[in-house]
Structure 1
């Protein structure tokens, strides 16, 4: 892996003048260098200053410019709402270039209300208000689509199977309410909105099902051809033409785990139903779908052993309209940068072991828990993003201890006599493929300190025509890495979340702070901060914040 040094022309020239001033006419070059920084007006009397003072200023500028020539994370806008210690945080639904929807539910004396706010992309409020909901109904799905906000609610238990769908007009805030017949008490896990339908995916007795609710005739039905056996619902992907795909991981007739791919039209009619053909002793555990040009479908994910708990590598499949499949497999040990998250000595030991096994003709086996999150188009190729993680447990004494009495753990959950402390992430992996599934390059991004109790995506992609920025948020710091294929353009950098005032200092940042995609090249960071003001007489505050984020080279 090569490190490519990035420098801006203006900064290069300025630093060059500073260096020349150290060896030549200090005032002549110093005045030019300071003027180039835009600080000339602050040094009106510079020609009257002593060489020693000017030298001190130049050295400070040199340090400043050397640190500032890297690519930057800009935060041009911020929105914040003061909240109390016991108040519920807001949830955010991005609506592309039409802004953001915010909502939070009220309980207790104001049970049965949702507080809604609609912001534009500059965080100006379009409208806000309170929406009444039936008692004991909770929001389980949310999606913005075609200038409207869709909220899916269900009853607190399985005594009522019907869902409530609330559709809010983004321009006016007016809303309509629809009842979706659930028919059976299934557990919903996924919610999508297509051009003319709402899709609710979930499980009934471990069997995956998808409920289709038509926005034309307001009728619901279970989609045909989903499955009759236990399996795992991997994805419901809505395509630009309104058609959608359902991916299910399950056993085939040869008792191998593979992916069942089901294509539906807008009305929910089954168009195509097939499985991916797997090689002997390889099991496809999890996958993501993408429709490419010429109606070619790309499916990428992880393969492993029969247990489906650990992955041994990445697969990528290409299916043409006739159904012809091409599947390629890439062992983790064959990737150039998969182990870059390790310390240098450990990485070298691992790679040396791989080479020894290759020379001896032995198989390379690495077991990782790995999830593929994204599959996106990039120039004339496709980019896959996934993250490696591991669960952590600690033993619990049946007698407790003086410091840790018996009872519910503060953060974890007790499972089989052990405390589940959460999922810890090690690194993200980015890979580039041709439309035929040939690997072009791979890269990685170390993830430090992140822990969660639900598996979710942390690292985000910012893709432009030449480079890819990888970003994630942890404890009030935006962490970034810039790559170009196998090369690292810029190693990990950090930028703090900017507050609303230069006098505000973040004393504590909430554990639920996240970074999410928004529109075009923009993302947004959000969460809760406890802020201390440096202005005498001003009180500290606890705020829910949203920062607009953009990565620039």
Structure 2
């Protein structure tokens, strides 16, 4: 009996570790009959644990198309479907869900012509409205507050970023007061339906120093207040994400730099409503795992050299560009994730992109070195950091390559698609592991084989579930090969 008690105690002790070490499950798969050359699909998770799947299916001559939105439940069983009345030329731009509606934006060949679609998530009822937005050429952000639209876009006349407000009842967009200098841009847009306002984070720069400003608007587009976040000496605040909540509890979490405003030197946190400099700064060298994407010897040499340069008052040699993710709110605070990247250029390219600082050449791709996650408490104090090395991960545009999510037990997960697999890393606070973990996507039947995968993607769904999707060619021993758009549920 004593030995049995010891065994039971041992099993109770290791059970959480065994559970966490299990490979993610794939409980259900959906295949839709779409070909990659004649279709475009978007997979849109909605808060009730359902999925909306938007599809544009063209004819063989690419002169006409059918636009469809379908709803699937958590087991990927089909619910309602709704057809959209759009001309072939229209392309999907962005979406946003404010229950009980999901809003989708479509753009025509003439870039100022847009169609906004509102669809009821419960029954599929559709409302379509056409707008002419002369100021909006390229949309970067789209949020909805009480049925009103907040849009961050590039002004097609001068390429400067603009903040637009659109009340569907008024039809005419309003340009909200926002960016003033040529070097200024937007860092974050967050609507808070509970509080009834939208917060916009601006990065203001004169090319030498940079600071942050938070502007608050109500659902009618009225400016409620400005909050200026002042930097410490020799530290420029570059980009930040804002937390939800009321004015007194709001925090900014972001990156700071020094002389060259293209590069970050660390992370900072600061109360939004603070009238004095009261934030916390964490240089990359202070973080436990930031340099773990390097091999151990290189990491040791790099940190030793960089610490010596800092002690001598010199700039670090290792400089990083970081692409921030939206904040993840946890029961104890927040997690800020970011991807470290560097641009890749066309050979012999000499043209300039007016949207880039300092006259940089336009990049044709962005390669990642690693992704990082930092856990903070509700007061912005750093609790832990961890790193996910990214090898050969490149995107043609500067968009997120990694999907992130908070799991039960305080864990955090990062995942990205790689052909027939998903590469992932489960983080238990600052406990770093160099073990590579991946899961191979499964077909419907065990005897089937996935022969090719194109345009793979993955998004966070609900709870501890993600959804992987893309185009695949499937070979079956008892039937002809088939081309499908697949959707696999992945549960961690």
Superposition TM-score, scaled by structure 1 size: 0.76
**Separation in 2 of the partners of 1:287 and 1:546?**
33
* CA displacement 1:374-424 (0-9 Å, x = unmatched): 3222332321111111122463699xxxxxxxxxxxxxxxxx9x9966211
Residue 386 of structure 1 aligns with which residue? 338
Residue 538 of structure 1 aligns with which residue? 479
Residue 182 of structure 1 aligns with which residue? 133
- 1:352 is paired with a residue whose SS is helix
The structural deviation recorded for 1:67 is: 10
Query: Of 299, 308, 313, which residue of structure 1 is paired with 2:252?
Result: 299
The structural deviation recorded for 1:72 is: 2.3
The structural deviation recorded for 1:526 is: 0.8
Task: Work out whether 1:548 is the aligned partner of 2:486.
Answer: no
* CA displacement 1:146-194 (0-9 Å, x = unmatched): 1323121233124xx3532121222332211223353545543221222
Matches within 5 A, 1:99-498: 99-107=50-58, 108=61, 111=64, 113-134=66-87, 136-158=89-111, 161-182=112-133, 184=135, 186-204=137-155, 205-215=158-168, 217-230=169-182, 231-241=184-194, 242-251=196-205, 256-292=209-245, 295-320=248-273, 323=275, 326-357=278-309, 364=316, 366-393=318-345, 395=347, 422-457=365-400, 458-488=402-432, 491-498=435-442
The structural deviation recorded for 1:446 is: 0.9
Relative distance call for 1:378 and 1:492 in structure 2 (3 A) is farther
- 1:345 is paired with a residue whose SS is helix
**Separation in 1 of the partners of 2:85 and 2:147?**
26
**Separation in 2 of the partners of 1:148 and 1:437?**
33
Residue 529 of structure 1 aligns with which residue? 472
**Separation in 2 of the partners of 1:481 and 1:508?**
24
> What is the aligned-residue RMSD (CA, Å)?
3.2
Whether contact under 8 Å (1:151, 1:167) holds in the other structure is yes
* CA displacement 1:51-110 (0-9 Å, x = unmatched): xxxxxxxxxxxxxxx999823211111111133352213111211225111122244566
**Separation in 1 of the partners of 2:109 and 2:419?**
33
Superposition TM-score, scaled by structure 2 size: 0.85
**Separation in 2 of the partners of 1:421 and 1:392?**
6
Residue 451 of structure 2 aligns with which residue? 507
Residue 60 of structure 1 aligns with which residue? none
**Separation in 1 of the partners of 2:481 and 2:35?**
12
Relative distance call for 1:491 and 1:109 in structure 2 (3 A) is closer
- 1:75 is paired with a residue whose SS is coil
Whether contact under 8 Å (1:333, 1:366) holds in the other structure is no
Relative distance call for 1:101 and 1:134 in structure 2 (3 A) is same
**Separation in 1 of the partners of 2:415 and 2:319?**
26
- 2:40 is paired with a residue whose SS is coil
Relative distance call for 1:97 and 1:362 in structure 2 (3 A) is same
Q: Which runs of 5+ in 2 are unaligned?
A: 1-6, 12-16, 351-358
Whether contact under 8 Å (1:517, 1:524) holds in the other structure is yes
Whether contact under 8 Å (1:379, 1:465) holds in the other structure is no
**Separation in 1 of the partners of 2:214 and 2:179?**
11
**Separation in 2 of the partners of 1:334 and 1:261?**
28
**Separation in 2 of the partners of 1:98 and 1:361?**
52
Residue 28 of structure 2 aligns with which residue? 77
Relative distance call for 1:295 and 1:267 in structure 2 (3 A) is farther
The structural deviation recorded for 1:357 is: 4.2
